[in-house]
């Protein structure tokens, strides 16, 4: 098509007016003169000390607390602490004991088990993309920062999780005695100068939070289909399942929405998002409202629901198809539906297409210790 023909392309506009693409010309545009040469840009890098998020398409930079800015050094320190049992009270359980990368940072158990063997009443939550959560834990709509949430498993005494309460000094001494840590603390908290070689609990928490905040990934077949325009990325069954998932009848995407397939997100684009809990019809108690968990990697994170009471995704579909326990407080989206066998297979195929196969092998997320030590 010539440039003159290109001029015929009509473009839409906000006001409805459709002007020509180009202004009619007496002839071809004149060659660019020296005076009209487009100036070369100044591409020297800006020195802003920024952290490279490497965000997937559609993901905005997460919000980061002012007191705990991201840095490569801090994330690296946090990664080591996350996989190190030395961080627990008795040195037996690491964070990764309940949040394993190959299970999308859950543990495969219905309910988590703490360092001393006590069973937690709830299931380990997935950690991928939690940087975008407006609140943390299954029922916590007041824990608004990862730094605050991390204190719960570290210091909780009923049940005991990491068992750190009263044993902080032991933990810090273990870290100090490990020659790998002092240089990592110094690099991560360089602003503290010489004092940074003496780690404290707040720094351990800040480094863990930085690592967990860095766990952002979306490399599933769904992402390839929707964000990379890869037509064959989803199987025909998953493609049909996607239509069911987002349909008005099933309305799964109404609660499990947005880029994280979870509840409302908070980021630099939407910094004021309020936490939201939903009643999923699982319990009769009207107050039994929980955070909407992510469906990304859902095939890896069973057993399901807040207490792991549903073993398989099939069981979960049965629950939502039934509409759950009726009563006051139940989310209006939980109203039941019917699926034939083919539709059920399609919907499951779609849910499985949300699995990010990169999680288990991504070196950014992996256990840094050569001996692979993970407690628990």
Partner 1 sequence: MRQIMRATAIAVGLLAAAGAFAAGNSKKITDVEASPEQEATRHFNQGIQLRDAAWKAEEKLAAESDPKKIEKLEKKIRGFYERAVEEQLSATKLNRRFHEAYSSLGYAYRKLGDYTAALKAYDTALALEPDYPEAIEYRGQAYLGLNRIDEAKKAYMALYGNDAEKAGMLLDAFRAWVQSGPDVPADKVKEVEGWIADRAKIAGMTGRGHDGGNGWASKGHEVGNGLEGHTEGNGLAGDAAGSGDR
Cα distance between residue 321 and residue 98, in whole Å: 30
Is 318 one of the binding residues for partner 1 (CB under 8 A)?
A: no
Is 285 a residue that touches partner 1 (CB under 8 A)?
no
Q: Is 118 exposed, middle or buried (0-12, 13-18, 19+ CB in 10 A)?
A: middle
Q: How far is the CB of 339 from partner 1 (least distance, A)?
A: 18
Query: Which is nearer to partner 1, 78 or 263 (by Cβ)?
Result: 263
Positions 211 through 250 that interact with partner 1 (CB under 8 A): 225-229, 231, 242-243, 246, 248
Q: How far is the CB of 3 from partner 1 (least distance, A)?
A: 5
Cβ(94)–Cβ(84) under 8 Å? yes
> In the numeric block, which tokens belong to residue 182?
């002092």
Is 316 one of the binding residues for partner 1 (CB under 8 A)?
no
Minimum CB separation of residue 37 from partner 1 in Å reads 8
Q: Is position 65 an interface residue for partner 1 (rule: CB under 8 A)?
A: no
Residue from the set 269, 286, 336, 342 that interacts with partner 1 by CB under 8 A: 269
Shortest Å distance, C-beta 296 to partner 1: 14
For helices 72-82 and 201-213, angle between their N-to-C axes, nearest 10 degrees: 100
Binders of partner 1 among residues 23 to 52 (CB under 8 A) are 23-25, 28-29, 32, 35-36, 38-43
CB burial string 207-229: b at 16+ within 10 A, e below: bbbbbbbbbbbbbbbbbbbbbee
Contacts for 12 with CB less than 8 Å, ≥ 6 apart: 18
Task: State which residue, 227 or 369, has the beta carbon closest to partner 1.
Answer: 227
Residues numbered 111-170 forming contacts with partner 1, rule: CB under 8 A? 132
Q: Does 361 bind partner 1 (CB under 8 A)?
A: no
Specify whether the CB–CB gap between 216 and 59 falls below 8 A: yes
Q: Smallest distance from the beta carbon of 21 to partner 1, in angstroms?
A: 6
Give 87 or 259: the residue with its C-beta nearer to partner 1. 259
What beta strand segments (E) does the chain contain? Answer: 277-278, 290-291
Which residues have a Cβ under 8 Å from the Cβ of 295 and sit 6 or more positions away? 252, 256, 261, 262, 351, 354
Q: Which is nearer to partner 1, 254 or 322 (CB)?
A: 254
> Per rule CB under 8 A, is residue 54 in the interface with partner 1?
no
CA neighbor of 163 nearest in space, from 109, 97, 74, 68: 97
CB 112, min distance to partner 1, A: 28
- Name the minimum Å distance from CB 93 to partner 1: 35
Closest CB to partner 1 among 31 and 117?
A: 31
CB neighbours of 140 closer than 8 A, spacing ≥ 6? 149, 291
Q: Which spans in 50-100 are helix H?
A: 72-82
How many residues form the binding site for partner 1 (CB under 8 A)? 69
Which residue in the set 156, 270, 343, 358 belongs to the binding site for partner 1 (CB under 8 A)?
Answer: 270
Contacts of 165 (CB under 8 A, 6+ apart): 89, 155, 156, 157
Residues forming contacts to partner 1 in the complex (CB under 8 A) are 1-15, 17-25, 28-29, 32, 35-36, 38-43, 56-61, 132, 225-229, 231, 242-243, 246, 248, 251, 253-255, 257-259, 263-265, 267-270, 273-274, 276
């Amino acid at each position: 098509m010539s440039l003159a023909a290109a001029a015929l392309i009509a473009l839409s506009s906000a006001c409805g007016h459709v002007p020509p693409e180009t202004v009619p010309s007496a002839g071809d545009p004149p060659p660019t003169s020296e005076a009209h040469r487009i100036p070369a840009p100044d591409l020297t890098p800006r020195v802003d000390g920024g952290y490279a998020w490497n965000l997937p398409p559609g993901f905005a930079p997460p919000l980061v607390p002012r007191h705990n800015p991201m840095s490569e050094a801090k994330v690296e320190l946090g990664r080591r602490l996350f996989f190190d049992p030395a961080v627990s009270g008795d040195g037996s359980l690491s964070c990764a004991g309940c949040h394993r990368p190959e299970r999308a940072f859950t543990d495969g158990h219905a309910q988590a088990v703490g360092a001393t063997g006590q069973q937690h009443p709830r299931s380990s939550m997935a950690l991928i993309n939690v940087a975008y959560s407006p609140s943390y834990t299954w029922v916590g709509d007041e824990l608004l920062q990862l730094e605050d949430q991390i204190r719960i498993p570290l210091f909780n005494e009923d049940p005991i999780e990491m068992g750190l309460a009263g044993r902080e000094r032991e933990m810090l001494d273990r870290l100090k005695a490990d020659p790998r840590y002092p240089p990592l603390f110094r690099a991560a908290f360089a602003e503290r100068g010489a004092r940074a070689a003496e780690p404290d609990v707040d720094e351990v928490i800040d480094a863990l939070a930085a690592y967990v905040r860095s766990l952002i990934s979306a490399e599933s077949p769904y992402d390839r289909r929707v964000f990379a325009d890869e037509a064959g990325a989803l199987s025909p069954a998953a493609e049909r399942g996607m239509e069911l998932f987002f349909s008005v009848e099933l309305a799964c995407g109404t609660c499990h929405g947005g880029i994280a397939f979870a509840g409302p997100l908070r980021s630099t684009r939407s910094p004021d998002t309020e936490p939201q809990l939903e009643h999923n019809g699982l319990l009769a108690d009207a107050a039994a409202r929980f955070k909407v968990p992510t469906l990304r990697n859902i095939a890896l994170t069973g057993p399901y629901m807040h207490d792991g009471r549903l073993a398989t995704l099939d069981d979960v579909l049965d629950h939502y198809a039934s509409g759950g326990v009726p009563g006051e407080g139940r989310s209006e989206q939980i109203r039941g539906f019917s699926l034939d066998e083919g539709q059920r297979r399609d919907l499951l195929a779609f849910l499985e297409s949300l699995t990010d196969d990169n999680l288990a092998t991504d070196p950014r997320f992996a256990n840094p210790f050569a001996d692979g030590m993970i407690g628990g």
